[in-house]
């Protein structure tokens, strides 16, 4: 054997040994002091458990970073366990609600299934493997002078834990509406739907996670929301159809939370260079292919003093690069990276955001959020050029004071012209054409006020008023992008007075009813035809699962 081949063999053996050592070191680091169980995520549409945790945090019974959702089932279970040790500080309704939720989340807390457990289609647990499966089903019916509309859905959801680290979950839900209610251009809070037929759409969610004591990794297709809010976040609202993300969550110390996502979002822009003609049994067909589109985003939450959370982060929507390695580095400021990557040519689409949450006054939650799409100090004070693209939100919730089992919320949101917008269709702040941010999009404002009563365990009664307005659309070709006035005129307006009641009879099983008095005027395409105009709508429904 020649010396060259001997050297090559030596190098190969040394390389393999180094890789084995690196792998062993990685495993040791991941498993160091590992005591946390696995993680699967509880969907953000189950608002009652999230509201309950907010209420407990407002009472200063638990600490909560409510700027990032969804929470994992493990996290929720730990918070319920924490409150179980403080029952003397709960009223009777809260004690019953706590016991009710533990019928479900004791699955994470107890080593076996010998407890007062919720109704499940199937549940199994041993020292290695945990598995739960349930059906999903629901129907909601609305009626007013414009006619009647219904939405029905059905499917199944399941989660599993394997060993000490792995979590798996999946949810499939098929939807049918007799009138389209979830288009991307509708200014409402409904989650988006990709209609596969005229009135049908489906949603597949879930993921796989690996967790350790101070963090987790996940490959996930689900909805997520960033930014404290009560009536729609202005950072990431979670309203778009779900898309796949690689998630990294870290909490190495009590005063720091870190969240990172890198996702493949859907452009719905045809790439003609990759599309092609083909011949099959149907004849000549044109196979359309979308441009690739990606999102990278990070969010740091620092707790300098107890119950005060200060969050900040940034994101970038990019295309034409494939999965770019620099955007896989979780802690970067992506706008600076973009200036290097696209030096001298058109940049990608970057954003910054901030959130502050204070629960330092007992029973009171104060919060504010700021989304910055573009800001230029140089033209800030020039009237003819002034256009800073941002969305600001501020609000408060007062819980159990001065009356028990009652909360009051007020929230204001303002979004300047062209915030969330971009002139390059492949890098808009959208997925499947649904805005990733606030549901009203740009050049809009909203005032929201709500009183919520919780007289008994499981019953929530909401009385709310929403006043939303939207100004002109400045995205027409050839239109100016600087010096645009905020709300120069009102082109769409929604005044809604709502009375809603919802009762959770069994875990994840609800019956609900609502009365909505709406007065919606202006641009008709912003509203489903059924709800447009001055209407009094009655709605009833039932659902099991999310």
Q: What is the pLDDT of residues 137-187, one digit of tens each?
A: 999 999 999 999 999 999 999 999 999 999 999 999 999 999 999 999 999
Which residue has tokens 């929720």? Answer: 76
Q: Is the dihedral of CA 319, 325, 329, 335 positive or negative?
A: negative
The CATH code belonging to domain 25-544 is 2.40.160.130
Structure tokens at 180: 């389209």
Please determine, for residue 85, whether its predicted confidence score (pLDDT) is greater than 50.
yes
What SS3 class is residue 521? strand
CA distance 394 to 498: 21
Please determine, for residue 317, whether its predicted confidence score (pLDDT) is greater than 50.
yes
CA distance 134 to 126: 19
Residue 404, strand partner residues: none
Please determine, for residue 344, whether its predicted confidence score (pLDDT) is greater than 90.
no
Average pLDDT over the chain, rounded to whole?
91
pLDDT in tens, 461-494: 999 999 999 999 988 766 667 778 899 999 999 9
Q: What is the pLDDT of residue 546?
A: 87
CA distance 441 to 427: 16
Q: What is the pLDDT of residue 12?
A: 43
pLDDT in tens, 278-316: 998 888 999 999 999 999 999 999 999 999 999 999 999
- Report pTM: 0.90
Q: What is the pLDDT of residue 196?
A: 86
Q: What is the pLDDT of residue 37?
A: 63
Q: What is the pLDDT of residue 476?
A: 73
Please determine, for residue 32, whether its predicted confidence score (pLDDT) is greater than 60.
no
pLDDT in tens, 92-112: 999 999 999 999 999 999 988
Is residue 374 very low, low, confident or very high in pLDDT (cuts 50, 70, 90)?
Answer: confident
pLDDT in tens, 375-418: 665 655 566 655 689 999 999 999 999 999 999 999 999 999 99
CA distance 429 to 313: 16
Mean pLDDT within 195-218: 94
Please determine, for residue 19, whether its predicted confidence score (pLDDT) is greater than 50.
no
Question: How far from 75 is each of 261, 296, 322, 423, CA to CA, in Å?
Answer: 19, 24, 35, 40
Please determine, for residue 125, whether its predicted confidence score (pLDDT) is greater than 90.
yes
Q: What is the pLDDT of residue 194?
A: 87
Question: How far from 37 is each of 84, 215, 259, 277, 544, CA to CA, in Å?
Answer: 19, 11, 19, 51, 27
Q: What is the pLDDT of residue 11?
A: 40
Mean pLDDT within 336-340: 94
Please determine, for residue 33, whether its predicted confidence score (pLDDT) is greater than 50.
no
How big is the chain, counted in residues? Answer: 546
């Amino acid at each position: 054997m020649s010396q060259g081949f001997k050297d090559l063999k030596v190098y190969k053996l040394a390389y393999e040994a180094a890789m084995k050592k690196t792998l062993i070191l990685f495993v040791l680091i991941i498993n160091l002091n590992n005591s946390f169980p696995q993680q699967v995520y509880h969907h953000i549409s189950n608002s009652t458990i999230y509201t309950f945790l907010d209420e407990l945090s407002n009472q200063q019974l638990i600490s909560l970073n409510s700027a990032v959702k969804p929470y994992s089932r493990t996290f929720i279970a730990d918070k319920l366990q924490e409150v179980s040790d403080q029952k003397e500080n709960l009223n009777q309704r809260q004690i019953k609600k706590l016991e009710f939720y533990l019928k479900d989340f004791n699955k994470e807390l107890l080593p076996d299934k010998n407890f007062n457990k919720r109704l499940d289609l199937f549940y199994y647990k041993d020292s290695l493997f945990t598995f739960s499966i349930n059906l999903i089903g629901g129907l909601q019916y609305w009626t007013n002078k414009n006619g009647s509309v219904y939405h029905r859905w059905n499917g199944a959801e399941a989660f599993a834990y394997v060993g000490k680290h792995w979590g798996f979950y999946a949810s499939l839900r098929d939807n049918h509406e007799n009138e389209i209610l979830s288009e991307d251009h509708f200014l409402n809070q409904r989650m988006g739907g990709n209609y596969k037929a005229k009135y049908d759409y489906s949603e597949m969610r879930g993921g796989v996670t690996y967790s350790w004591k101070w963090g987790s990794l996940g490959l996930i297709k689900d909805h997520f929301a960033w930014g404290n809010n009560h009536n729609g976040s202005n950072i990431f609202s979670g309203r778009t159809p779900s898309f796949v993300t690689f998630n990294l969550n870290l909490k190495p110390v009590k005063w720091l939370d870190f969240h990172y996502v890198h996702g493949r979002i859907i452009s719905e822009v045809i790439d003609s260079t990759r599309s092609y003609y083909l011949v099959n049994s149907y004849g000549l067909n044109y196979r359309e292919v979308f441009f690739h589109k990606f999102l990278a985003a990070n969010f740091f939450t620092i707790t300098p003093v107890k119950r005060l959370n200060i969050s900040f982060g940034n994101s970038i929507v990019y295309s034409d690069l494939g999965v770019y390695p620099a955007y896989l580095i979780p802690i970067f400021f992506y706008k600076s990276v973009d200036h290097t990557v696209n030096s001298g040519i058109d940049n990608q689409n970057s954003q910054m955001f901030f959130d502050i949450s204070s629960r330092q006054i007992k029973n009171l939650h104060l919060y504010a959020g700021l989304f910055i799409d573009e800001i230029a100090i140089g033209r800030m004070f020039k009237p003819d050029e002034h256009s800073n693209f941002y969305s600001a939100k501020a609000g408060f919730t007062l819980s159990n004071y001065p009356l028990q089992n009652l909360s009051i919320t007020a929230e204001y949101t303002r979004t300047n012209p062209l915030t969330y917008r971009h002139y390059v269709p492949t890098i808009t702040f959208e997925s499947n054409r649904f805005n990733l941010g606030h549901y009203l999009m740009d050049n809009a404002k909203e005032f929201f006020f709500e009183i919520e009563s919780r007289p008994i365990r499981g019953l929530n009664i909401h009385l709310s008023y929403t006043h939303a307005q939207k100004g002109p659309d400045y995205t027409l070709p050839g239109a100016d992008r600087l010096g645009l006035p905020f709300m120069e005129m009102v082109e769409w307006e929604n005044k809604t007075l709502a009375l809603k009641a919802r009762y959770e009879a069994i875990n994840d099983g609800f019956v609900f009813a609502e009365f909505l008095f709406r007065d919606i005027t202006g641009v008709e395409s912003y509203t489903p035809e059924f709800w447009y105009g001055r209407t009094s709508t009655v709605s009833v429904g039932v659902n099991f699962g999310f």
